């Protein structure tokens, strides 16, 4: 006979306890335990997904034939780039983002583009009815007969429909609304999310169907549910952006079939999302001319260089402890660079408030932006603007040296394409490559922060 056992599971990390706890010992969050009923013993139910179950046998790796499966490409080049060149058949992809950011709109547009290529697409909505999905489809101009819409939350019925229709592409919106009848906990709980994702993974791998699932996010910005969810899927994409701005950023944080540093930029329009093919122009189009504290840096986002403006505001503090605030860069990087400027260059910044911002809402985390931040701080402190046609690239060490960066050639080519005249970069990056000769651009190598300030910011 099967026995019913009560347990309490943390909805943030999946920690299990025999009794209710106010604070989770695993993730230290409060009031996250929910009671669930576990059935133990007795005859276990078979998995409901269909398909012939084959028992795998170990094979020599030298005897396995290497086969490159063709990827499914969409009409959005930005979306293809983030996935590493297109959608891999049989892959399970998780997309997370804030409510109302445009996840459903993006996936419905992708589904429409694939349906226009005569591929059967099944869009499963657990939060909206078919008529509500039709309203969004009319706004986006979706008119393909190969796109099927299903409003269902029972995973058994979803699996049966997938086996019946045999689509080439499946969208689950969202995983927190799907449930299995065998599990007594509510939809969205740790057990439901874990088991439903496991069954969807089996469906994707067995039938070779790429499945995209939408995941809700917590107030901290991470995907809700157990951390195991991100380990189970093949790729994790985050759809970021401010709700009051029109630009959206699709960033890959995990990808088994491509780079995890790629970034795609879209613009939200009335008729849907439109890809931005040249984001550098977007980030620099509103740059002020002749303003102090503004520099431009060429940052690598995956395989593509992006030119971004970094702004700094230095003002005398009115308190005992000066403030150090940063938006778009690491908060700890600002006081470190200010200490280097004070010790190695002689700028008295210990009684100054510092505010650093990356224009456009982009988040930069590579070391190559150190020199641009330092020059912005010095420019604002001296109230002396930099030249608008200059770009600063380099990593700053604690001794004030400028260290080499990667992919300097691609960065310089992007700067030359947008009409910049001078690139101040590490001296150790000058050899081993050829500067673009079709543009009148000057490459200046520097070895210290003080040398870069003498060239870029004059007194």
Nearest Cα residue to 272 out of 444, 102, 76, 72: 102
Say if residues 111 and 143 touch (Cβ distance below 8 Å).
no
134 phi, psi to nearest 5 deg:
-65, -35
Binding residue positions for ATP? 97-104
Q: How many helices (DSSP H) and strands (DSSP E) are in the chain?
A: 11, 21
Binding residue positions? 97-104
The secondary structure of the chain in percent helix, strand, coil, rounded to multiples of 5, reads 25, 30, 45
Say if residues 154 and 137 touch (Cβ distance below 8 Å).
no
Nearest Cα residue to 302 out of 80, 89, 101: 80
- In 152-246, DSSP assigns E strands to 169-173, 211-215, 235-240
Rounded CA separation 253/67 (Å): 26
Tokens 């879209």 belong to residue: 266
Rounded CA separation 325/320 (Å): 16
Nearest Cα residue to 275 out of 419, 102, 415, 123: 102
Say if residues 47 and 202 touch (Cβ distance below 8 Å).
yes
Instruction: For residue 56, count other CB atoms closer than 10 A to its CB.
Output: 5
Rounded CA separation 333/318 (Å): 23
Rounded CA separation 302/306 (Å): 10
Token code pair at residue 326: 């940063």
């Amino acid at each position: 006979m099967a026995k019913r056992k009560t347990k309490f599971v943390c909805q943030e990390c999946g920690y299990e306890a025999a009794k209710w706890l106010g604070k989770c010992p695993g993730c230290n969050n409060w009031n996250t335990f929910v009671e669930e009923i576990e059935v133990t013993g007795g005859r276990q139910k078979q998995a409901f997904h269909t398909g012939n179950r084959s028992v795998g046998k170990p094979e020599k790796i030298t005897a396995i034939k290497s086969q490159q499966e063709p990827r499914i490409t969409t009409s959005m080049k930005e979306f293809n780039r983030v996935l590493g060149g297109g959608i891999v058949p049989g892959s399970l992809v998780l997309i997370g983002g804030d409510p109302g950011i445009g996840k459903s709109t993006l996936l419905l547009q992708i589904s429409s583009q694939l349906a226009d290529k005569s591929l059967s697409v099944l869009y499963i909505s657990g939060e909206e009815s078919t008529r509500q999905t039709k309203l969004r489809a009319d706004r986006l101009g979706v008119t393909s007969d190969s796109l099927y819409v299903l409003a269902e939350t029972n995973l058994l019925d979803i699996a049966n429909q997938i086996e019946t229709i045999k689509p080439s592409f499946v969208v689950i919106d969202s995983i927190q609304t799907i449930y299995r009848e065998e599990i007594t906990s509510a939809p969205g709980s740790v057990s439901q999310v874990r088991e439903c994702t496991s069954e969807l993974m089996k469906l994707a791998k067995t039938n070779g169907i790429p499945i995209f699932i939408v995941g809700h996010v917590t107030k901290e910005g991470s995907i809700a549910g157990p951390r195991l969810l991100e380990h189970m899927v093949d790729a994790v994409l985050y759809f970021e952006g401010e709700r009051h701005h029109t630009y959206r950023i699709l960033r890959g944080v995990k990808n088994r079939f491509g780079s995890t540093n790629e970034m795609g930029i879209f613009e939200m329009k009335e008729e849907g999302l439109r890809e931005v093919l040249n984001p550098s122009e977007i980030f620099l189009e509103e740059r002020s001319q002749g303003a102090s504290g503004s520099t431009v840096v060429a940052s690598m986002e995956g395989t593509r260089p992006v030119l971004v403006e970094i702004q700094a505001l230095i003002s005398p503090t009115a308190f005992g402890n000066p403030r150090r605030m940063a938006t778009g860069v690491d908060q700890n990087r600002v006081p470190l660079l200010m200490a280097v400027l004070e010790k190695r260059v002689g700028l008295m910044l210990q009684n100054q408030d510092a505010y650093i911002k990356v224009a456009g809402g982009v988040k930069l985390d590579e070391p190559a932006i150190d020199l641009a931040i330092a020059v912005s701080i010095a420019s604002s402190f001296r109230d002396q603007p930099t030249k608008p046609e200059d770009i600063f690239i380099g990593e700053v060490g604690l001794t004030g040296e400028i260290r080499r960066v990667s992919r300097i050639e691609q960065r310089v080519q992007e700067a030359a394409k947008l009409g910049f005249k001078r690139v101040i970069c590490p001296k150790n990056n000058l050899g081993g490559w050829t500067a673009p000769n079709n543009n009148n651009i000057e490459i200046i190598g520097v070895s210290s922060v003080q040398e870069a300030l003498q060239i870029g910011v004059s007194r």
